[in-house]
Amino acid sequence: MLSRGELSILSGLPRTTPRSEFLITVANSPREHAAYRVLRHREFVDRQALFDRTDVDDIDDDPRTTVLIATLPDGTIAGGVRIAPTPWAGSEHTDIGWWFGSRLVVADPGLAAGIGPALVRAACAHVEQLGALRFDATVQDRYVPMFSRLGWQDRGPGPVINERSHREMGYPLNRIQRTVDGTKAVLAEALAPFADQPGGLGATGFRGDDGVPLPGTDVIAACDAIIPSMIERDPEWAGWCSVLVNLNDLSAMGARPLGLLDAVGAPTTSHLTRIIRGIGSAAEAWRTPVLGGHTQVGVPSALSVTALGTTPSPLPAGGGRVGDTVTLHADLGGSWRPGYHDRQWDSTSSRSSDELCAMTSHLATVRPASAKDVSMAGIAGTLGMLAEASGTGAEVDVTAVPRPGDASMGAWLTCFPGYAMLSTDRAGTRRTVPTPAPVTTADCGRLTASPGVRLRWPDGETTVAVASTVTGLGVA
């Protein structure tokens, strides 16, 4: 994928014709931008007469607009394309993850078959790196076949500009689906031996939930493991997160934490000490004791924690119904964890114990119809899991999703966000419980009859984020 530096994309014409090597880069200098503007004017104003005097518009003045150029070995700029966030009703400056490509131009028609597609492919990769979840373009009819070969989808007729017909087209960005497939899609097959056991994978109504109600008691048990590479790389943070994710599980169940059990393995005593230090710091911050566990040194890094909590009436993930309003409860404070940009949002390490404990008890006070804590599947993937457990699908209103200013929409909907909970309630339900100070709460979607997760955009269009069920475990 492209960065502000360079990405070499060598392409050209079919082998029966001479090849022309070129380099796709981000235009950074005034000279490069000027050369691209000259190509545009020559093509769209002088040759095609699509514009009367100039093709320059407000998008060119947007500082977020990025121009990709194709440069030949002698330094000649042979083509370019621009990409920018789409202005939408209500805001001209908020990037909601909806980007638009335009002004694709190639200087030499003889090279168009190589440079044109390469610029389009580079633009698709670049907008996804920037956190886009939707990428559109208005394409002249004669170029629709090329875009279709590159995977673009026809979304209907576009404008007629100076007697030239256009089509509206979109490129499917599958960031959310890839996140889901990489984190949760294997669960049904992998856990099949447990599903055949009496009571396996949880009681009816809580199958595959964040926590497990122990039969005949008010006790809720939750268990999470930390990725070994994270334990190796950042042992104290791994220890902190092992407590965080478990207490988030209890929070989503509406349970009050009672204590923790840990199982820790480390290659050295020094590494073990750092892991334990992280667990201890988090346990103290959330005022939840570590009751015991298992500790081993001289082995590969491993860490899992079990949390025990209590509630007489646990909140199910599968309590949603078609038409329910989806609400996101999230702490937007903090920043990206160093070394985990766009993957882990750290909203908890700077919070006080009072704030952390208030957030942990938040959903127990609200008592929604269904609830689930946001896991490594991200906000969109976790909503898909809640919908699957409820026997529904879900739709997210992109403009209503609260998020930190430093997070792109693509990153925010796919990252681990620290403290974030999803809940649903019957449409029209009024909340009378105050929200704890660190938490931002917003209605941002609804449960639907169609499986999967869709994103609704300001123009009324919907795009598929998750094609079907997430885990395959089915209705809770």
CA-nearest of 302, 246, 292, 244 to 272 is 302
Q: Examine the domain organization and report whether 243 and 277 are in the same domain.
A: yes
One domain, residues 261 and 293: yes
Please identify every stretch of the chain with a pLDDT value under 70, giving residue numbers as ranges: 1-20, 89-93, 112
163 and 309, same domain (yes or no): no
pLDDT at 16: 43
Report the pLDDT value the prediction gives residue 428, as an integer from 0 to 100. Answer: 87
Query: Residue 11's pLDDT is what?
Result: 33
Could you tell me the CATH number of the domain that includes residue 101?
Answer: 3.40.630.30
Longest dimension (CA), the chain: 80
The residue from 314, 341, 356 where one domain ends is 314
Q: Is residue 1 part of a domain?
A: no
CATH number at residue 257: 3.30.1330.10
Claim to verify: residue 39 and residue 57 sit in the same structural domain: yes
Report if residue 232 sits inside a domain: yes
Under a CB-based contact definition with an 8 Å cutoff, are residues 411 and 344 in contact? no
pLDDT at site 87: 80
166 and 55 both lie in a single domain:
yes
Number of domains forming the structure of the chain: 3
> Is the same domain home to 11 and 107?
yes
Each residue of 104-144: pLDDT tens digit?
Answer: 999 987 776 799 999 999 999 999 999 999 999 999 999 99
323 and 410 in one domain?
yes
Evaluate whether residue 327 is within a structural domain. yes
What radius of gyration do the chain's Cα atoms show?
A: 26
CB-side exposure of 111: number of CA atoms within 13 Å?
21
End position of a domain, from candidates 112, 144, 172: 172
What is the reported pTM?
Answer: 0.92
pLDDT at 90: 58
Is 67 part of a structural domain of the chain? Answer: yes
Range of the structural domain that residue 371 is part of: 174-209+316-476
252, 286, 314 — which closes off a domain?
314
Q: What is the pLDDT of residue 173?
A: 97
- Give a yes or no: residue 217 inside a domain: yes
190 and 224 belong to one structural domain: no
Render the burial of 430-455: b for 16+ CB within 10 Å, e for the rest: eeeeeebebbebebbbbbbeebbbbb
Residues 6+ apart with CB under 8 A from 246: 222, 223, 224, 260, 305, 306, 307
